[in-house]
Structure 1
Amino acid sequence: MNTEAIRGAPSWHIHPDAETLARHLARAIARMADAAIAARGAFHLVLAGGNTPQPVYAALVSRGRRWDAWHLYHGDERCLPPQTLQRNSQMAASVWLQQVPIPRAQIHDIPAEMGAEAAAAAYAAVLPPQRFDLVLLGIGEDGHTASLFPGQPWGLDPATPAVLSVHNAPKAPAERVSLSAWRLQRSRELFFLATGSGKRDALAAWRRGEDLPAARVGAGATVWLDEAAWPGS
């Protein structure tokens, strides 16, 4: 899927439960990695943070191949010390990356411990010039995605920076770093992940056409969710 063409309605992939979803999504990511490596010699993946993707990352340990060709980035990060458990980089490392031989130089953590402004500028220089192969995102109960929150700048205009410094986020910590909306959309494929009844209202608002960060970033994306998160008709 060419992101220049991502403009339509999302497609909804509903699974019976979070465990089944994680298994199928990990399999899909592994297939995409194989295809990207065969076609272009590398797989460039942007990781979602938070708790929801943890089972997917754990399932990838036994699914992935050709780890030497994987290049990983983060959609956002919290401005906390590097070893803090609440960091997205720490979560991904503990459930997945410490168990697979991806070269450390190809795991691009956001240096959010530098502070939001400095980290955003530094991370912009790390991003590849080409499109990502896959961007994986979540959705918050308020409709935010990455660290793009309602009522704050989302970076939809390609003239804005590729990486944003986020201040006064409504969820702690207030200081964060996030890829902008347009840079997240600059990907061959865009997947959203949502599980649990707590996401149902946000997904219902998305389906109603409300102007949420997730809906703006995810127009035309594939949304992977379990039955508990599905708001129905």
Structure 2
Amino acid sequence: MNKTVEILPDLPALVARGLDLILSKLATAIQERGQFSIALSGGSTPKPLYEAIGNQNLPWDKIHVFWGDERYVPADHPDSNELMARRAWLDRVAIPAANIHAVPTLSGNPTVDAAEHEKHLQAFFGSAPGKFPQLDVVLLGMGDDAHTASLFPHTEALSVSDRLVTVGNKDGNPRITFTYPFINAARSVIFLAAGANKRPALAQVFAPAADDFAYPSRLIKPQGELIWLLDQAAGLELKP
């Protein structure tokens, strides 16, 4: 794992750096493999980044969009990660509908939908069961409790290591989430974290020793590169 930590002055600088990284990795992926795959995160921090991507002139037909996790709500629900990304970016550009790989959330059974999404991912990447395909970029955020995607502290999803997708649990509410081994298969994982409220969790995530199941972001150790983008408020006590 190649890990770097960058502390940016403020949120706009963090967003600008995130955009630079994504555009660079997109260009490389398309040049080398003919397409670019990215998994998005939810939350408020990446929204201006998605807006910035939507303002670019890009080969949209070569870009495939996934989500690292999704709340178990319809796609038009205010809490939907998909809805946020569509409004900020995807509905504003000429990306083919087939290139938007939304998480299914309508069967009424999260386990069924998670399995269906896993099949879709395996078919898209041409990967055999038990093998983890490589996304080009996985964007992640981190909560105050050090959760990432819908991998929450001390939940069953943290123990799933043989699947791409599983059911997460947030206060009894199901979510669908990539598993940490699937995230770790990515070529690049980029964390975006902003705000002083993230400092206690970051201290544990960056500590030489701590409980991975109490601080799930510690489980993210990709075989490719790991990039932490922090604003000054979040990264104040960290030494890159």
Give the alignment's TM-score, normalised by structure 2. 0.87
The match for 1:126 among 102, 120, 126 is 120
The match for 2:65 among 58, 62, 72 is 72
Match of 1:180 in 2: 179
Distance in 2 (alpha carbons) for counterparts of 1:231 and 1:145? 21
Match of 2:143 in 1: 140
Match of 1:39 in 2: 32
How many residues were matched structurally? 222
8 Å contact from structure 2 (residues 136, 187) kept in 1:
yes
Counterpart of 2:55 in 1: which secondary structure? helix
Distance in 1 (alpha carbons) for counterparts of 2:59 and 2:159? 34
Letter of the structure 1 residue corresponding to residue 201 of structure 2: A
8 Å contact from structure 1 (residues 154, 180) kept in 2:
yes
Distance in 1 (alpha carbons) for counterparts of 2:54 and 2:82? 16
1:80–1:157 distance in 2 versus 1, CA, 3 Å: closer
Match of 2:217 in 1: 214
Unmatched runs of 5 consecutive residues or more in structure 1: 1-5
Distance in 1 (alpha carbons) for counterparts of 2:74 and 2:54? 26
Letter of the structure 1 residue corresponding to residue 148 of structure 2: T
8 Å contact from structure 1 (residues 196, 229) kept in 2:
yes
The match for 2:77 among 73, 77, 84 is 84
Match of 2:130 in 1: none
Distance in 1 (alpha carbons) for counterparts of 2:79 and 2:233? 25
Match of 2:228 in 1: 223
8 Å contact from structure 1 (residues 192, 218) kept in 2:
no
Shift of 1:37: 0.5
Counterpart of 2:228 in 1: which secondary structure? strand
Counterpart of 1:82 in 2: which secondary structure? coil
Give me the identity figure in percent. 33
Match of 1:106 in 2: 99
1:166 aligns with 2:175: no
RMSD, aligned α-carbons: 1.7
Unmatched runs of 5 consecutive residues or more in structure 2: 128-132
Q: Give structure 1 regions of 4+ aligned residues with deviation exceeding 2 angstroms.
A: 153-158
Counterpart of 2:235 in 1: which secondary structure? coil
8 Å contact from structure 1 (residues 14, 227) kept in 2:
yes
Distance in 2 (alpha carbons) for counterparts of 1:104 and 1:29? 21
Give the alignment's TM-score, normalised by structure 1. 0.89
